[in-house]
Structure 1
Amino acid sequence: MRSFLPSLPAFSLRARLTFYFITLIIISLTVMGAGYFMKSSDVILANASETSLGLVKMSNRSIDATLAQVEQSAINMHLDEELFTFFNNTSLEDRSDADRRITRVLNKYFPSTEDVFSVNLVTKEYTFGETPNFWIPKKDYALSNIYQIGQRSTANTRWIPTYNLLEQFYSTSLTYTEKDQYVFTATRRMNFTAVRNNLLREMGENVERPILILNFQETMIKKAFKESLTIEGSFYQMFTEDGMIVSASGSLHDQAAVSQDWIRYAAAKRSGTEYIEINGRKMVVCFDTVNVTGWLSAVFIPYDNLKKTVPNMSAYMFYSTIFIILISVVLASFISGRITLPLKRLLRAIHRIGEGNFDSKIEPTGTMELNVIIHKFNQMNDKIHTLIEENYKTQLKEMEAELKALNFQFNPHFLYNTLNIINYLAIENKQKLISNMLVDLSEMLEYTAKNPGRVSFKEDLAYLQNYVFIMNQRFEGKFTISYEMDPQLFHYSVPKFFLQPFIENSLIHALDEMEEGGVIKVSGRIEGQLRVFTIVDNGKGMDPDTIRRVLESEDIPKDKFQSIGMTNVNQRIKMLYGHDYGIHIESQKNHGTTVTIRLPLS
């Protein structure tokens, strides 16, 4: 390798790129393959954990469906007319004789299943309903805490975690025996109602409300979680929000596998997967919440045992890496050829530009980076071509300006003296109108002789008013003109002759077919950092094509004001202030024209 690297510059660009690509690909794949191999087990473990969590959720949904049906049946039983008639009777006589009838009604709402241990309606004096699997006392049930909890459950069903019926009613011993019966209970106070004469009637105020008590086998939860314990050494526990064990794989008297703090944390999170340590052993805990009761179900899976279920990825990774490297060698050779082809085209184009051929264009091909280079090269070529053309046009304009300056370099005093002589003759012959027109014309000539460029807006407006006065004599009674100018505008300079061409256009073209009634409004205002001037007429208007030709100086009819026409004004504004400023024309045939001129304030 050391003897090979110094000889690389002797190879072509394509060969070097191919070598570099293959080297980078092999190194990258080796590193990525090793990293992927190391991480693949963790990824699969995470997927396995999610699968276990899915099983826990399925178990919880099964329990939720059963318990939700119980709650709905309890709600429906409130409207049972037979129970309403029976329990709305304040007399306690002969209630023991009705036990079979009440049991039949209870079985209608809560059919007997292997998961339901017993269903009872309990009053202070008697317990209605059968207890086929275990003897529940027919009397004195009201002394139990289960009955007291039911008395307080008026709005919804209260769920009581697992307890031993033997301890509840007959013994205080904590020693496990074969007669122990573990159940969890749903209870609520029943306020029966009935519809009489289209009215909903409730039980009398002094009538005792019975307590519904449903006892479920704790084994119901064990069966639900049997499918979730598929990995050796896994077990489950179900907790209340207070950390009390509701059900477990082992004995209910065993301690919780996790701390109270963790149970509160998981209950707040409601569902998820966590990695924890129990007695120094790493465990995966998949937990979910039973919606009906709010109890937390958790399946604990030994991490090592879960890892044993992950397939061996080493052989797969080895053969996959070899295959990808072979494919990459072929692709590297092809891609390097595709990359160098645009570079060769670029070199040929640079050579043509060096010979003065600026029309050379390269079609973008290759990678994104080469496309950017080619695009920028084409832009540079266009800009160089544009700059050369603009420089050539600028030189022509400068020569044309110099010729015009030479043509207009004469002393205007002869014209002023001549106009003054004519003015004196007009005054002697009492031709005041002619005298005023001569004075205005003289002022206009004096203003015209000033240097071009920017002038005081006050002077340019005076020139416009002199022009309007003379044209008003020519078109007597044909038009009226009004001015509305912000006085602040007089403090700024403007391009010379920037309003007059638009008034001339209105008179010569827009109002040429009107004998009278022509209206022209000239206004100026300041809007933020802009000076806005508006010329509005009620003439015949222009179509969009005419507006375009006016602004682009395309086939415009020539007249005596050609040198300072509308197109000239637009071009001078853009040259003086930039392309963000200039002229905007709005017009419709036979609906007049509005010309807006925007200049910067500064």
Structure 2
Amino acid sequence: MTFRTRLVLSYLTLIALPLLVLSTLFYRTSLNVVTEQAQKNVYAVVKKNNDVIDTKLGMADQNSRSLFVDKDLYEIFNALHPSREEELVAADRQISAILSKYFSQNEDVYAVQLWTSYYSFGLSLSLPQGDPTQSRIYKEALRAGGKMVWYPTYDFTRMFNQPWLKDGSIDFRYLFSATRLLNFSHLEDSTLVKLKPGVERPVLTISYKSTVMDELFEQSIPAGSSYMVLDPNDVVVASSDGSQVTKKYAPAWIEAFRAKGSGTERIMLNGKHQIVCFARSEVTGWLSIVVTPQSALVSSLVPVIRTSTIVGALALTAVALFFAYFILGRITGPIKRLMSAMRSVGEGDFQTRVEVKRNDEFGLLSQRFNRMNDRIAMLVKENYEIKLKEKEAEIQALNMQMNPHFLYNTLNIMNWTAIEHGQKELSKMLVCLSNMLHYTSRKDWGAVRLAEELEWMRNYFYIMSVRFEGKFDVTYDIEPALYEEELPRLLFQPFAENAILHGFGGLEAGGRIGIRGWTEGGSRYFEIRDNGRGISKAGIDAILYEESASVGIKNTISRIKMAYGDDYGIRIESAPGEGTRVRIQLPRNTQY
């Protein structure tokens, strides 16, 4: 068997086996990736729906809090005589108008009422409730003592003892309600005035039709999926199976999801692989669950993945055959010539040359080999010069590491600020970030004046103070002569960031950062000091000496030593509970 034949057979064997394995892995991986992406999409829909529900129901919670200090309601109930029917009717009109002011803009609210033992006020829809004070909703509100109670979906005819409506077709058959006991008060000459002790406190009831949640889920979840909303007692608030509403649903797997709060899992239900996405409401505590058969998410994509895998495997096999029969035969000759020349070079003959007969890659390789020998002497000479330049390149590389690292942190902070604060401070933060990006994106990464560095730090501190809601203050004590002297860029940022993110981790307010600069002898000193929780001796050693700890601080130390020598650098003094002091020593009037 010739060398070419052995080479062809070996080539085909080496291609066929990995191709079979890779094709199988590609098919399984592609299927898994598609499934995971579909799972993430369904989870995103559930989270979004949950946020929409929280927004809608949260409006009712906020508006109900406003009723506590509504002066008009206070005056009506404080002066109302329950025995006078004409007063009750007049009060009903006034109260209906007041409730309409707070809740009429919320189109999801079905009815808003104030219940007392003697009258139901604000009844905008004719709900034949009888005596609502005998209902469980009313009693739950009394027990809560002023806290908002979200009562899950209930059968109206049973809750209010209306059996004559049981067989009728009414659109308010299934409702869920939010109730709260109202103890009105208002400020009068800087004094908080409450209702008279003998005045009965009304119960606010905000009712929603259960279809509010049905419409939201049915329009957003994938085909073939089912949904369910459960209260903390496993009562079904809403469901794609209408017969389950108001009933209890408590399989074993629900408890694990309720403890987790939100997420997505793959489980076996009814003998099928199911993807379950769930999220708990921050307003009501109800758990939204969407169950989607795994096959429903990927059924349309499986044939595409399978076909593409087979076609790809066949195409790669054809390419392998082409290379085996038409390319491998042209490899052995040039390889032999190159190996002979390489042996000569290995023995010290740098004048060896390979005759160039072809213009393909092997011809180019032969040309490069000849050129390599011509350059060996030159490379020996250049080697020393390259060593000198490596130090400068390392300094530039360390400098450039600071820029993307900090940009990432800054953009992450602004993202969370926008989410948490609803763009209130966004305009000013964008101005600060624009200045910071302009400063850090300069092509020249040499030295900067201290005045420029401190201006950048002020922008940085502003963004961080908004992110942490005024948790800390910053003071400066700099000798005037230092403002025009040059120093490495982003010298203070890693230590300030460490103080804010780690030093003030346990503080709600009262954090203090002090930046001080002075001269002493032939050196400049800068100190960053905080009153945070401090660092242990082991923590300081990890920052200074371990490779995996605090990339920003390690880079800053390296830049200082490479620019000014080993006599300069930083010193960290700290202890748990005593804050941290970082002192930086640089030479005076030295170009960076």
Q: What is the TM-score when the length of structure 1 is the normalising length?
A: 0.50
Of 261, 280, 302, 2:293 maps to: 302
Structure 1 counterpart of 2:152: 161
Displacement of 1:50: 2.3
SS at match of 1:265: helix
SS at match of 1:228: coil
Q: Distance in 1 between matches of 2:318 and 2:348?
A: 41
Structure 2 counterpart of 1:146: 137
Of 235, 239, 243, 1:244 maps to: 235
SS at match of 2:123: coil
Q: For residues 160-309 of structure 1, what are the structure 2 equivalents within 5 Å?
A: 160-171=151-162, 177-179=168-170, 181-232=173-224, 234-253=225-244, 259-309=250-300
Q: Distance in 2 between matches of 1:324 and 1:145?
A: 71
Residues 243 and 260, structure 1, Cα contact 8 Å, conserved in 2: no
Displacement of 1:105: 0.3
Q: Does 1:50 align with 2:40?
A: yes
**One-letter amino acid matched to 2:344:** R
Structure 1 counterpart of 2:24: 34
Q: Distance in 1 between matches of 2:320 and 2:108?
A: 62
Q: Distance in 2 between matches of 1:351 and 1:144?
A: 102
Structure 1 portions without partners, runs of 5+: 1-5, 355-377, 383-602
Structure 1 counterpart of 2:2: 7
Q: Distance in 2 between matches of 1:126 and 1:341?
A: 107
SS at match of 1:300: strand
**One-letter amino acid matched to 1:99:** D
Residues 273 and 286, structure 1, Cα contact 8 Å, conserved in 2: yes
Rate the CA distance shift 1:341–1:270 in 2: closer, same or farther, 3 A: farther
Structure 2 counterpart of 1:105: 98
Q: Distance in 1 between matches of 2:336 and 2:48?
A: 59
Q: Distance in 2 between matches of 1:216 and 1:314?
A: 48
**One-letter amino acid matched to 1:111:** S
**One-letter amino acid matched to 1:197:** D
Displacement of 1:167: 0.9
Q: Deviations over 1:170-221 (max 9, x none)?
A: 3469966423611001011112222222444333444332211101000101
Structure 2 counterpart of 1:89: 79
Q: Deviations over 1:54-96 (max 9, x none)?
A: 2222222211110011111111222211112112336434233
**One-letter amino acid matched to 2:194:** E
Residues 96 and 124, structure 2, Cα contact 8 Å, conserved in 1: no
Displacement of 1:349: 3.8
Q: Distance in 1 between matches of 2:129 and 2:336?
A: 91
For the pair shown, the structure with the greater C-alpha radius of gyration is 1
Q: Distance in 2 between matches of 1:315 and 1:143?
A: 66
Residues 222 and 292, structure 2, Cα contact 8 Å, conserved in 1: no
SS at match of 1:178: coil
Residues 154 and 174, structure 2, Cα contact 8 Å, conserved in 1: yes
SS at match of 1:124: coil
**One-letter amino acid matched to 1:83:** L
Structure 1 counterpart of 2:307: 315
Q: Distance in 1 between matches of 2:72 and 2:175?
A: 29
Rate the CA distance shift 1:19–1:120 in 2: closer, same or farther, 3 A: same
Displacement of 1:161: 0.4
Identical columns (%): 27
Rate the CA distance shift 1:328–1:213 in 2: closer, same or farther, 3 A: farther
Q: Distance in 2 between matches of 1:23 and 1:323?
A: 16
Of 40, 53, 57, 1:67 maps to: 57
Q: Distance in 1 between matches of 2:272 and 2:119?
A: 52
SS at match of 1:231: coil
Pairwise CA RMSD of aligned residues? Answer: 4.0
Of 336, 347, 350, 1:351 maps to: 347
Aligned length: 346
SS at match of 1:352: coil
**One-letter amino acid matched to 1:82:** D
SS at match of 2:2: helix
Q: Distance in 1 between matches of 2:323 and 2:145?
A: 75
Residues 106 and 129, structure 1, Cα contact 8 Å, conserved in 2: yes
Displacement of 1:257: 10
SS at match of 2:253: helix
Q: Does 1:117 align with 2:113?
A: no
Q: Deviations over 1:424-470 (max 9, x none)?
A: xxxxxxxxxxxxxxxxxxxxxxxxxxxxxxxxxxxxxxxxxxxxxxx
Rate the CA distance shift 1:350–1:113 in 2: closer, same or farther, 3 A: closer
Structure 2 portions without partners, runs of 5+: 351-375, 381-592
Residues 286 and 300, structure 1, Cα contact 8 Å, conserved in 2: yes
Residues 121 and 129, structure 1, Cα contact 8 Å, conserved in 2: yes
Rate the CA distance shift 1:255–1:101 in 2: closer, same or farther, 3 A: closer
Structure 1 counterpart of 2:479: none
SS at match of 2:187: strand
Q: Distance in 1 between matches of 2:248 and 2:319?
A: 52
